[in-house]
Amino acid sequence: MSKPNDTICAFKTSIGGQALIEGILMRGPRKQSIVCRKADGTLVQKTEDLKLNRDKNPILKVPFLRGVPMFIDSMVNGMRALTWSAEQLPEEEQEEPTKFDLWLERKLGSEKAEKAVIGVAVFLGALLAIALFVLLPALLFELLPDSMHLVLRCILEGLIRIVIFICYLWLVTRMKEVKRLFAYHGAEHKSIFCYEKRLPLTVENVREQSRFHPRCGTSFLVVTMLIAILVVSVMTWVLSLIPGLAALPKIAAALVRVLAKLVILPIIVSLTYELNRWVGGHENNVLAKIAAWPGKQTQHLTTREPDDGMIECAIEALKAVIPEAEGEDAW
Cα–Cα dist 237/117, whole Å: 40
Determine the Cα angle at 24 with ends 21 and 26, to 5°.
Answer: 145
Share of the chain above pLDDT 70, in %: 89
> Shortest CA distance to 139 belongs to which of 251, 249, 231?
251
- Confidence band for 2, pLDDT divided at 50, 70 and 90: very low
Please write the tens of the pLDDT for every residue from 138-177.
777 777 787 788 778 888 888 888 888 888 889 988 888 8
Q: Ranked by mean pLDDT, which of 6-10, 86-90, 96-100, 237-241 comes out on top?
A: 86-90
3-state secondary structure (DSSP) of residue 147: coil
Among 53-62, 180-189, 282-291, the range with the most confident prediction by mean pLDDT is 180-189
The predicted-structure confidence for 77-88, as pLDDT tens digits, reads as follows: 888 898 899 889
- Which of 236, 243, 222 is closest to 141 using CA atoms? 236
Decide if pLDDT at 22 tops 90.
yes
C-alpha distance from residue 99 to each of 95, 112, 115, 120, 125 (Å): 12, 16, 17, 15, 21
What are the distances in angstroms from CA 261 to CA 33, 222, 239, 300, 315? 36, 17, 11, 30, 41
Per-domain residue ranges for the chain?
Answer: 4-321
pLDDT confidence of residue 37: 95
